[in-house]
Amino acid sequence: MEIATLLVSCPDRKGIVASLAQLLYGHGANIVHSSQHTDELAGMFFQRIRFDLGTLTTDRETLEAEIRETAADFAMQWRLAYAARRHRVAIFCSKQEHCLYDLLIRHRAGELPCTIAMVVSNHSDLEDVARHFDIPFHHAKITPETKVFQETATLDLLRSANIDLIVLARYMQILSPKFVAQYPSRIINIHHSFLPAFIGANPYRQAYERGVKLIGATSHYVTADLDQGPIIEQETIRCTHGDSVDDLVRKGREVETRVLAAAVRLHLQDRILVHANKTVVFH
Amino acid sequence: MEIATLLVSCPDRKGIVASLAQLLYGHGANIVHSSQHTDELAGMFFQRIRFDLGTLTTDRETLEAEIRETAADFAMQWRLAYAARRHRVAIFCSKQEHCLYDLLIRHRAGELPCTIAMVVSNHSDLEDVARHFDIPFHHAKITPETKVFQETATLDLLRSANIDLIVLARYMQILSPKFVAQYPSRIINIHHSFLPAFIGANPYRQAYERGVKLIGATSHYVTADLDQGPIIEQETIRCTHGDSVDDLVRKGREVETRVLAAAVRLHLQDRILVHANKTVVFH
Amino acid sequence: MEIATLLVSCPDRKGIVASLAQLLYGHGANIVHSSQHTDELAGMFFQRIRFDLGTLTTDRETLEAEIRETAADFAMQWRLAYAARRHRVAIFCSKQEHCLYDLLIRHRAGELPCTIAMVVSNHSDLEDVARHFDIPFHHAKITPETKVFQETATLDLLRSANIDLIVLARYMQILSPKFVAQYPSRIINIHHSFLPAFIGANPYRQAYERGVKLIGATSHYVTADLDQGPIIEQETIRCTHGDSVDDLVRKGREVETRVLAAAVRLHLQDRILVHANKTVVFH
Amino acid sequence: MEIATLLVSCPDRKGIVASLAQLLYGHGANIVHSSQHTDELAGMFFQRIRFDLGTLTTDRETLEAEIRETAADFAMQWRLAYAARRHRVAIFCSKQEHCLYDLLIRHRAGELPCTIAMVVSNHSDLEDVARHFDIPFHHAKITPETKVFQETATLDLLRSANIDLIVLARYMQILSPKFVAQYPSRIINIHHSFLPAFIGANPYRQAYERGVKLIGATSHYVTADLDQGPIIEQETIRCTHGDSVDDLVRKGREVETRVLAAAVRLHLQDRILVHANKTVVFH
């Protein structure tokens, strides 16, 4: 099967589902999966439709043109993703290796449908990991003086490699608003707490001091506001009075890797829509 | 809104989604939610569509007639449930009260969209509980001699009360195949283990003896084969070497109540389709 | 067996474990369980010892006197609880019934080793629930004018009934610092969020607006600072974009009841020590 | 601190706890942690004591001699592990890499206190992984003809390397009873189901066919009876009707890695005692 995924969001009104179903049917496309959500408070409609292009009776251009027309009728935002056109991903990391390893192992196992085009780091520590998986490694050393320059150079690099998703795998630098603006809803970060608890630095120490009985991790799209972007996935894990800060860090690695990988996978499968700083995630 | 839910299953083929969407749209029904599943190994298609009847431009009879026609074209099994027509439920119990209480409390809180028409028990211990919630209680004492007779009497009672769902809330009697056959996919049981582990009697003792580190509970539709029916919901809970059989029983009550209530709720919301001894559960 | 539980905390130093073991052995008391914890940062030692009084070769007064002496040597805080002397509990509630029912059902099932001496409420809605379980119900209506007076009257009531644990089962009034000071580490509250996220009013609405993917509940001892007391137990449950605030409230009830009941049970089993606004919970 | 861990099990009787505490105190050893368990049905007592050797007033030989004497008095089985003497581990694998990677990454992060002395495999596929982590790799190809010979050669290899723990990280060969007998309670396997459900081959396919709503993984000590050894750790993960066998395999990898790593860590920390085909695990 040649699969395409159509993601749409628009003000809710009658007839959207039937219109899209009819449109696709009219081009010979067979719907293999469909999910929808209506946010009644916001008055918004969201849908994800996966369909088979193999039986198309017209061509892709004609199909896209008609989607464009229908979208205009319904004031829809839409995106059409062809499974054959794999996402191109850059992973950013610093010195901690657990999330990087986890993503590369899952990728090799076929869990992450994408091309990992590069690993970018402000340190050289993990070059050996990238090389072990045959992924190009870019060392972009960052100092207060070079930070602006490095971001510009990195943006050039990403553009020239047609990157469409950036994954911050425990990357310890804050991206500038200018950088973030280039990749709206296309930078995924992992924060090592159950947001909105323990925003900012050292969440495990904060958790230790508060004496919580669960710690967590949160993956979210990066926005200009630190730790405030739309949440994609969260998970918690039990801890006790017996856990030192180091124990929390160790336990946390486990949820961080899982939660980041889950978010990346959901994004790569075109399951996420963003509206008003929240995500609609079609599982 | 006046909501109706259409559940369909049929051999998979092209055009089903569009046909149903078009059909409903043609009658003015607005689809508010839709989920689908294709079992590729079995070659089967399943869909649940919730739609608003308030905007219907024809009437229910005309709509149903056309669904019947389309269903015939696609060799569909289908069921149309009107939210306004509440399910009528009988809860069967014996001496243990936790599941009964839990269901009645949730019902009163509005979590279970149904009429609980009666509580049936082979013991009188829980009559006071039923009375506290103003539910009629039927004591149907069962002895080896009276079992066949009682089942017949109970079937009469259920029929005269138009019961369409029976919930076995730790009911300690085995229903005869003849009884079960009257309510296919309409009797929900809670088994106090993570099936298929620990089938049969005393699952907590079996779990204790095997030294497992998790115990569980399983809700399933009752079929003629004991503990073998289609599984609706399962959950597990941690245990340790320190837990006695009594501790397992106590911990188990917690998962039993949750898993049974979840299954009943899913059924009442018309979210479950059964095919080949397995469930499709649209969450 | 006649069980006693000794809970101690003191500055950490060598020989504590051996001294207590030797002391108990010297009186013929057989240790049936023991747990300990050292908080290295705080330099504090904590221990819980359960022992059998049945084999005591001296008497309780002599034993207590020697514990008192040893405690003085080690600058210990200590508490000796005899299992035969059941905790006396008052449950405070308002209009929501789920936590109250849950506690009363568990109590009847033998899960909560205590005497539930009364239910106190600022509304009369749940009188019928208390009566169903044969627990005295006190309606203490609270208005801005009567609040101070009512608290004093309630304190008198609690004192005259020898209450040693107060459980706030979704009690919607804030207790005054003066009231709280009477029951240090002896008032357990359930907060309907994963603290410290969503402190204050309407945590489910806050959670909805932030778009979290998990909601939670936290049981804690009440201190003068609202929602800031030592955390006893926490749990989370998954939610999705599809959950309305009402859905979060419904899902939340499930974790609230579990987390509150777990905390109460841990307290009643004398498993909790408090130090520096954190709990040591011996599972 | 120089830590030693004493693990004992014996028929339960009065005075064991005090005797051991007094014994250690008499040698100047400071107890930093202690846990105990009494299995009342079996009449057995179990204890784990961690103590600091740094303050020893005698020497290790004298201490061990007195432990031996006390052990004889109580008919104790005992084991004394010095933290400074790291466990020596061999990891056995076949072609699947997820558990191997996970163990090696955790080891490098300091989560597994041991020396991983070698990776042994019946295939050469994972040699590159072992090399990446600088662990010697032994390819021991197995055919029906060479199996007996290879086991003997492998046993020699293990002996000459002083291996004291074997971890089967999805090793797809069945070890002979003769081999297993050489390492009682010292071979840890990961079975890809929630035992005792789905014993034997292809548990994910079995799970798919039964239509379960959770899948799991079980780590256990290997005994002569396949999949019947003492369970160390288990975990489950949700699945749905939408998961194909391949999806279950993918989800399963996540629990397999976690559950195996947890079991290995528990063993390496000398937290596990085995009695009557069950484990006592001191968390």
- Grouping H, G, I as helix, E, B as strand and the rest as coil, residue C191 is strand
B35 Cβ under 8 Å from any chain A Cβ: yes
Percent residues over pLDDT 90 in chain B: 92
Q: Is the pLDDT of residue C226 over 90?
A: no
> For a pLDDT cut of 90, what percent of chain A falls above it?
92
Min distance C89 CA to chain D CA atoms (Å): 30
What distance in Å separates the CA atoms of residue D194 and residue D203, rounded to the nearest whole number? 9
Residue A15 pLDDT grade (very low, low, confident, very high; cuts 50, 70, 90)? confident
Q: Select the residue of A39, A236, A240 nearest C281 (Cβ to Cβ).
A: A240
Q: What is the mean pLDDT of residues D238-251?
A: 97
Nearest to B222 by CA among B165, B158, B261: B165
Asked if residues C111 and B97 have their Cβ atoms less than 8 Å apart, the reply is no
| CB pair distance less than 8 Å for B236 and D214 | yes
Concatenating the DSSP letter of every residue in A111-146 gives -S-EEEEEEEESSSTTHHHHHHTT--EEE----TTT
Q: What is the 8-class DSSP label of residue C66?
A: H
Mean pLDDT of D100-122: 98
Distances C141 to C122, C123, C154 between C-alpha atoms, Å: 4, 6, 11
Pairwise CA distance, residues D232 & D229, whole Å: 9
Q: How many CB atoms lie within 10 A of CB B2?
A: 12
Query: With 90 as the cut, is the pLDDT of residue C5 above it?
Result: yes
B216 vs B193: CA distance, rounded Å: 5
Look at B101 and C98 and tell me if their CB atoms are within 8 Å. no
Residues of D in contact with B214 (CB under 8 A): 194, 216, 234-236
Residue A107 corresponds to which tokens in the numbers above? 């990728």
B216 vs C30: which has the higher pLDDT: B216
Q: Which pLDDT value is given to residue A14?
A: 86
Element (H, E) at C88: strand C87-93
Query: Residue A1 above 90 pLDDT?
Result: no
pLDDT category at D133 given cuts 50, 70, 90 is very high
**Which residue in D39, D125, D164, D227 is the catalytic one?**
D227
pLDDT at C1 exceeding the cut of 90: no
| Whether B247 contacts chain D with CB within 8 A | no
Written as six digits, the tokens of A59 are 């061509």
Q: How far apart are CA D7 and CA D37, in angstroms?
A: 12
pLDDT at position C14: 86
Classified as helix, coil or strand, A80 is strand
- With a cut of 90, say whether residue C75 has pLDDT above it: yes
d(CA C145, CA D40): 57
What mean pLDDT comes out for the span B265-282?
A: 97
Summarize the confidence of residues A14-31 as an average pLDDT: 91
Give contacts of A 132-171 with D, CB under 8 A.
Answer: 132
Tell me, yes or no, if C250 comes closer than 8 A to chain B by beta carbon.
Answer: yes
The predicted model scores a pTM of 0.97
Instruction: Check if B227 is active-site.
Output: yes
Give the closest of B101, B254, B258 to C101, CB-based. B101
Residues of B in contact with C254 (CB under 8 A): 258
Q: Give the pLDDT score at C200.
A: 87
Rounded distance, CA A19 to CA A26, Å? 10
Looking at residue A225, the DSSP 8-state letter turns out to be S
The arithmetic mean of pLDDT across residues A117-128, rounded, is 98
Q: What is the DSSP letter of D51?
A: E
* Mean pLDDT, rounded, for C218-246: 96
> Is B30 within 8 Å of A36 when comparing Cβ atoms?
no
Test the D interface: residue of C1, C3, C12, C25 with most D CBs within 10 Å: C25
**Interface pTM, i.e. ipTM:** 0.95
Q: What would the mean pLDDT of D221-240 be, rounded to a whole number?
A: 96
C15: pLDDT strictly greater than 90: no
Q: How confident is the model at residue B70 (pLDDT cuts 50, 70, 90)?
A: very high
Q: Which of B18, B22, B33 sits opposite A31 (nearest CB)?
A: B18
CB contact, 8 Å: A195 with chain C? yes
Q: Between vectors from CA A230 to CA A227 and to CA A234, what angle results, nearest 5°?
A: 80
Residue type, B12: D
Q: Which among D30, D32, D36 has CB closest to C34?
A: D36
Q: Looking at residue A156, what is its pLDDT? A: 97
D106's tokens: 């955790």
DSSP helix, strand, coil percent of chain B (3-state; round to 5): 35, 30, 35
How many CB atoms sit inside 10 A of residue B150's CB? Answer: 17
Is the Cβ pair A214, C236 closer than 8 Å?
yes
Adjacency order of strands within the sheet including D137-139: D137-139, D114-121, D87-93, D165-168, D187-191, D214-221, D231-238
Amino acid A228: pLDDT? 94
Instruction: Report the share of chain B in percent with pLDDT over 70.
Output: 100
Q: Do B198 and D196 touch (CB under 8 A)?
A: yes
A79 to chain C, any CB pair closer than 8 A? The answer is no
The mean pLDDT of C193-207, rounded to a whole number, is: 94
Contacts of B38 in chain A (CB under 8 A): 32-33
Closest alpha carbon within chain C to A220: C212
Confidence of residue D101 (pLDDT cuts 50, 70, 90): very high
Distance CA B263, CA B281 (A): 10
How confident is the model at residue A226, as a pLDDT? Answer: 87
For residue range B239-257, what is the model confidence (pLDDT) as tens digits? 999 999 999 999 999 999 9
Say whether residue A131 is in contact with chain D using an 8 A CB cutoff: no
| Chain C residue with Cα closest to B112 | C250
Residues of D in contact with B232 (CB under 8 A): 213
A250 reaches D (C-beta below 8 A) = yes
- Determine the straight-line distance between the first and last CA of chain A, rounded to whole angstroms: 21
The tens digit of pLDDT for each residue in B95-141 reads 999 999 999 999 999 999 999 999 999 999 999 999 999 999 999 99
Across the interface, whether the CB atoms of D101 and A97 are under 8 A apart is answered: no
Report, as residue numbers or ranges, the catalytic residues of C: 227
Inform me whether the pLDDT recorded for C204 exceeds 90.
yes
Determine phi and psi for C280, rounding to 5 degrees. Answer: -105, 120
Dig out the tokens for B67 from the structure. Answer: 């669904």
Q: d(Cα A281, Cα D148) in Å, to the nearest integer?
A: 53
Q: Walk me through the domains of chain C, giving residue ranges and CATH numbers.
A: 3-82 (3.30.70.260), 87-281 (3.40.50.170)
Mean pLDDT calculated for residue range C14-29: 91
Q: Do the Cβ atoms of C111 and B258 come within 8 Å?
A: no
Is the model's pLDDT at B52 over the cut of 90? yes
d(CA B64, CA B2): 16
Catalytic residues of A, by residue number, are 227
Q: What's the CA gap between B221 and B274, in Å, rounded?
A: 9
Instruction: For A174-200, write each residue's pLDDT tens digit.
Output: 999 999 999 999 999 999 999 999 998
Inter-chain contacts counted by CB atoms under 8 A, chains C and D? 46
How confident is the model over A223-274, as pLDDT tens digits?
Answer: 999 899 999 999 999 999 999 999 999 999 999 999 999 999 999 999 999 9
Tell me what the mean pLDDT of segment C180-207 comes to. 96
Residue-level pLDDT at C47: 96
Q: What average pLDDT score do residues D234-257 get?
A: 97
- Mean pLDDT for chain B overall: 96
Residues of B in contact with A24 (CB under 8 A): 18
Q: What is the mean pLDDT of residues D101-111?
A: 98
For the stretch C102-131, pLDDT in tens is 999 999 999 999 999 999 999 999 999 999
Q: What pLDDT is attached to residue D62?
A: 96
